[in-house]
Structure 1
Amino acid sequence: MSSNSEIITRMVGLLYPFIIVFGIYVIVNGHLTPGGGFQGGAIIASVFISRYIAFPADDFRIESLQLIEKILFICIILFPILVLFQQWYVNDYLHNYINLIYLISMNIFIGLKVSCGLTIIFLRFIFHEGR
């Protein structure tokens, strides 16, 4: 099997949308079902890893992924503080909705950060350790 196998290339191209939708589903429904940010982020990172396996190219920008990961880390730190101060001023009826928004938002932040982090780890192994 060559590195540019037609079967692998076509199957990866067909599976991209399904993998992304499944990863988003796991992230968004993490507060109701098993799964959440880490598991969904790992699923979405598999899209980038399989893209490199199917189409090996050096067009990934590790610096931009690192910047996105740092911004997401700041959001993960600041968002709970914002929600904590916001809960002092709301009544019990809105408290449940704020908790729901908080859980979904944190799952999204964590999922995107894990996706960026695992992709960076993979690309570091390929580009820097593979020389």
Structure 2
Amino acid sequence: MAYAEKMIPSAAVREMIDRYRNEARNPAAPDFQISELAPVSEVIRSAPWDHGVYAIYRADQTLIYIGMSMTSVATRIAKHMSRRVQESTFWQMHTGYFAQTILVPNSWEAPSLEEFLVQQALAYPGI
């Protein structure tokens, strides 16, 4: 799901993740592994090959895209950066420079977290 029309800073995305933790999860559930914001190429190289949610950001660290993978977050981000995908109108207009991964302990939680973040992003007032 793309969010290129809103200027949502990475700090606001982190607050959305924390809101999901506090409002939509069992407090006894194992916690997420949330990466720091890093260049996309570094995230692809270093992200664990695990399920979860990811966010891609512009150079100014505002959100472009939220997605999820049930198998490998790193592989999914790499697909967004492939030549074929980068030639699409959306990615030509919105180059991704940074990424962040949110690995979830159970694959079934990835769609739930992604949907929560999508709804929060849609409701975000912008800057």
Normalised to the residue count of structure 2, the TM-score between the two structures is 0.29
More strand by share: 2
More helix by share: 1
Task: Pick the structure with greater CA Rg.
Answer: 1
